[in-house]
Each structure stands twice: as structure tokens, then as C-alpha cells.
Amino acid sequence: MTKQPPTPPASPGPAFRHGFTRHWPGYFEAVVGKGPRETAVRALDAFAREGIPAEGQEPPLAVDLGCGEGRDTAEMLKRGWRVVAIDGTESAFEYFARREGLLEHPNLETRLEPFETCSIPVCRYLNASYSLPFCRPEAFDALWKVIRSAIEPGGRFAGQFFGERDTWASIPDRSHHTRLRVEKLLLGLDVEYFKEDESDSVDAEGQDKHWHVFHVVARRPE
């Protein structure tokens, strides 16, 4: 059956509207300057408990996939990681300039690449906050395979998957998953944090949206 996109509300707020329409510069403007996502903080804290990054050693590599305006990238760099920040929207990196010292940070590399064809370097930490649902569905499995093989033994994945009951699940170019499917995607990883959130809630601007989100932190065994 062909998926039909849902009708947006009559007067949606900016973050809702931009996520709905993929108008990313508008999304960046709506969220600019916010702090790191909870899943990123959980993963970085878990590494810190393991002594990573280690003082006096080469910084480990993190990839921020769908980095947006840099909220997680900034935190990783602050904590001593080297970061490859990947996004398919050029203006994401213009927004990096709004965060002091970010764009010129010596441990940052930015890459303008779409998820559907991007290459991902081998890394200790793969972060994908609220970005994977925007990979086109026909490319999702290949992307997930690339992500899984890019993460070093002992490394982590952190990020979100959107569920099938989310308001945006019926938009044809989105990748949403059932809980069972998310569990299958994570097979072979040690899942350290898994939270299924389902609520009639609001976005950053107070616009109603039904959220169905899986928040995940998972570690690849040694």
C-alpha cells in the first residue's frame, strides 16, 4: 500500500513544521544553542567511567551523524574527543559558527554528505541524535550495516529511532520501526539504555505531536 503523508496541522510551530517538511535551516534556527541530547550525555558519561578519553593519549574518534547545528558535537569536543560531524544540509555547519570556538576546533572535521551514500570512518562512538528517521527507507538497512561495522569493539552507539505510531511515520520518505524491529537492529550489542517514549506531547514551540521514540545507548562487545 502506498504511504500517504499526513496533513500537517493548520498552524504548526516551527520545529514541528521543519521536521515535517525537512526544512532544516528553519529547524536549526528553532533549536540553536541548545545543550547535548540525553542519550549523548549517557554515552559520553559511560565512556568517561571507563577512562575514555584518556589523558595524554590520542583523542578517540566520535562520529556525529546528522549533527545538525552542533549540540552534541560541541559536547564531544569539550570532553576531549575528536569528531567527524556529518550532515546533508550545508547550513548546519554555518550554524556551528554560532557556537564559540566550534568551527575552528582542531579536533573537528565536518563532512557534507547524505546518509544514503555517506562513508563512515571506524570510530569509538557513533552518535545519531534524532537523525536516522530521516534516512530514506530504501537506504536504511545499508546505512545501519555501515554504522554497525564502523563502531569499534568496545565502542558505542547512541541515538533515536522513531516508532510506527509516531505522527510522521506515514510520510513516505521516513524510516520508522516497530519495537521488535529496533530490538533486532540492536542484536549483538549490549543495550545499556533503552527507553520507549510514547506520548501526546508538544515540540519545542508548543505544537501538538504524537511522539513514538526509542532512545538507545548500546555498546559493541569487545
Ligand X SMILES: C[S@@+](CC[C@H](N)C(=O)[O-])C[C@H]1O[C@@H](n2cnc3c(N)ncnc32)[C@H](O)[C@@H]1O
Compare residues 36 and 53 and give the one whose CB is closer to ligand X.
36
Query: Nearest-CA neighbor of 206 among 34, 70, 68, 30?
Result: 30
Report how far residue 183's alpha carbon sits from residue 4's, in angstroms, rounded to the nearest whole number: 27
Residue ranges that bind ligand X, judged by CB under 6 A: 19, 24, 27, 31, 37, 66-68, 71, 87-89, 92, 114-116, 129-131, 134-135
Write down the least CB distance from residue 1 to ligand X, Å. Answer: 24
Compare residues 88 and 155 and give the one whose CB is closer to ligand X.
88
Write down the least CB distance from residue 2 to ligand X, Å. Answer: 21
Cβ neighbours of residue 152 closer than 8 Å, sequence gap 6 or more: 122, 123, 124, 220
Write down the least CB distance from residue 41 to ligand X, Å. Answer: 12
Compare residues 59 and 133 and give the one whose CB is closer to ligand X.
133
Cβ neighbours of residue 181 closer than 8 Å, sequence gap 6 or more: none
Compare residues 54 and 98 and give the one whose CB is closer to ligand X.
98
Compare residues 160 and 185 and give the one whose CB is closer to ligand X.
160
Q: What are phi and psi of 35, to 5 degrees?
A: -80, 175
Write down the least CB distance from residue 134 to ligand X, Å. Answer: 3
Write down the least CB distance from residue 58 to ligand X, Å. Answer: 26
